[in-house]
């Protein structure tokens, strides 16, 4: 038999380690129990048979039965310290040592058994309650807007999407916007957000890349699809309303100023909140801009509608550290632009070039001013 390294060879019980009350309990139990294999001394036997006269009339006293608790209460000081730390009553532990002495292993087994029972009882409660709970289902019809969205997005599943994304530095645009809102040029000028500038930048880029303003015609001849080029830039803006997502569009953005676009956005938002948009406001869009960042989110993969070939998703504005031309760290306002294009008619290079032109107009708004008509 080999001993393991780091393990004790044996355990030695030392009488001196027993508490005084334990030693008294053990001694009384031993005297009462006796040993059948050891003959009693004659002197002790004689003393047991001698009875004084004055004791003959006294009532006999029945000796108290040995208590098994005396055995189970035996433990070394170290074990008693462990019992105190674990808040365990020594009388609740079954001792397996000599004369019923409680060992450290007995305490540990008792503690683990007690904790496992408590954990099992606690774990049964939620599972039993959840198993008894019944699933309730109810049928709700889609709203008209949800029904239209269901049909439109189902058709969009057949479109292979090309995704192109980039982070834009909007710090100069933010400064220009702040100046225009602080010093309005006309009476009752609406507050200008980033969106009118972005919509105008998209329209200016469409002049150079008109394919992104087109639509695919498969109704005339499904075997020979065609591109229908469109001159007017009717740019849709996705709006979150109490009734759901709707996409009214701003007509002829290519002939509008930034202030005109801002006024039209305000008009459409007011009508959308009161459910007073007309069919003319909701039809005829050629490309869509979704400002999901106004709600939250940095990146988005926008979904193209069937009557268009491209869509732009705008993430929320962020303030990030960046390096300037001198290599110094500066604070920069950044915004992510995520484009999706119909990869059946728009290749990646065309999408990238158009997106880069939009980036130039947004990051350097003075160049956009030079292109305004």
As a whole number, mean pLDDT of residues 142-163 equals 90
As a whole number, mean pLDDT of residues 313-333 equals 92
**Residue-wise pLDDT tens digits, 196-223:** 999 999 999 999 999 999 999 988 888 8
C-alpha span between 313 and 303 (Å, rounded): 9
As a whole number, mean pLDDT of residues 68-77 equals 62
Q: Tokens for 348, please give them.
A: 């990646």
Q: In sequence order, what DSSP letters do the residues of 207-240 get, joined into one string? A: HH-GGGG-EEE-SS-TTS-EEE--SS--EEE-EE
**Residue-wise pLDDT tens digits, 229-284:** 999 999 999 998 888 889 999 999 999 999 999 999 999 999 999 989 999 999 99
Q: Which of 214, 193, 323, 211 has the alpha carbon at shortest distance from 261?
A: 193
User: Helices (DSSP H) in the chain: which residue ranges?
Assistant: 20-33, 42-49, 68-72, 77-86, 104-132, 144-156, 171-182, 194-208, 258-273, 279-282, 348-363, 365-371
Is the pLDDT assigned to residue 134 strictly greater than 70?
A: yes
C-alpha span between 195 and 251 (Å, rounded): 15
**324 versus 23: which is more confidently predicted?**
324
**Residue-wise pLDDT tens digits, 18-41:** 555 555 555 554 444 444 444 444
Return phi, psi of residue 201, to 5°: -65, -40
6 φ/ψ sector (left φ>0, alpha ψ -120 to 50, else beta): left
Write down the catalytic residue from 161, 166, 167, 343: 343
Is the pLDDT assigned to residue 340 strictly greater than 60?
A: yes
Is the pLDDT assigned to residue 346 strictly greater than 90?
A: yes
**Residue-wise pLDDT tens digits, 167-203:** 999 999 999 999 989 888 778 788 899 999 999 999 9
Return phi, psi of residue 14, to 5°: -105, 130
Grade residue 6 by pLDDT with cuts at 50, 70 and 90: low
DSSP 253: G
- Tell me whether residue 233 is one of the annotated catalytic residues: no
Q: In sequence order, what DSSP letters do the residues of 166-204 get, joined into one string? A: EEEE-HHHHHHHHHHHHS-SSTTPPPP-HHHHHHHHHHH
Partners of 144 in the beta sheet?
Answer: none
β-strands 329-342, 310-314 pairing: antiparallel
Mean pLDDT, the chain, as a whole number? 81
213 neighbors 233 (Cβ within 8 angstroms): yes
Per cent of the chain over pLDDT 90 is: 47
Rounded to the nearest 10 degrees, how much is the dihedral formed by the CA atoms of 324, 327, 329, 334?
Answer: 30
- Tell me whether residue 89 is one of the annotated catalytic residues: no
């Amino acid at each position: 038999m080999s001993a393991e390294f780091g393990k004790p060879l044996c355990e030695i019980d030392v009488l001196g380690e027993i508490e005084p009350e334990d030693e008294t309990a053990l001694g009384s139990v031993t005297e009462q129990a006796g040993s059948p294999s050891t003959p009693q001394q004659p002197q002790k036997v004689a003393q047991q048979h001698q009875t004084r006269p004055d004791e003959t009339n006294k009532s006999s006293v029945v000796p108290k039965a040995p208590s098994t608790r005396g055995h189970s209460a035996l433990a070394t000081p170290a074990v008693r310290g462990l019992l105190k730390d674990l808040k365990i009553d020594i009388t609740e532990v079954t001792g397996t040592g000599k004369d019923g002495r409680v060992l450290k292993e007995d305490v540990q087994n008792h503690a683990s058994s007690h904790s496992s029972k408590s954990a099992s009882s606690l774990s049964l409660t939620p599972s039993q309650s959840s198993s008894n709970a019944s699933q309730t289902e109810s049928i709700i019809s889609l709203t008209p807007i949800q029904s239209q969205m269901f049909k439109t997005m189902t058709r969009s599943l057949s479109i292979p999407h090309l995704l192109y994304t980039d982070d834009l530095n909007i710090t100069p645009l933010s400064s220009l916007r702040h100046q225009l809102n602080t010093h309005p040029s006309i009476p009752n000028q609406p507050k200008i957000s980033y969106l009118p500038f972005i919509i105008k930048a998209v329209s200016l880029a469409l002049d150079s890349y008109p394919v992104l303003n087109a639509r695919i015609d498969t109704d005339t001849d499904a075997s020979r699809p065609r591109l229908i080029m469109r001159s007017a830039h009717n740019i849709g803006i996705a709006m979150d309303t109490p009734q759901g997502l709707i996409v009214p569009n701003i007509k002829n953005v290519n002939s509008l100023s930034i202030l005109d676009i801002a006024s039209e956005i305000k008009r459409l938002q007011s009508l959308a909140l009161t459910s007073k948009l007309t069919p003319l406001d909701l039809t005829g869009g050629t490309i869509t801009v979704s400002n999901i960042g106004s709600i939250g989110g940095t990146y988005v993969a926008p979904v193209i509608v069937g009557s268009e070939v491209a869509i732009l998703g705008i993430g929320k504005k962020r303030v990030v550290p960046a390096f300037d031309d001198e290599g110094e760290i500066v604070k920069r306002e950044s915004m992510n632009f995520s484009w999706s294009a119909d990869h059946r008619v728009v290749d990646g290079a065309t999408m990238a070039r158009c997106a880069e032109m939009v980036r130039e107009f947004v990051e350097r708004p003075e160049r956009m001013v030079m292109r305004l008509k």
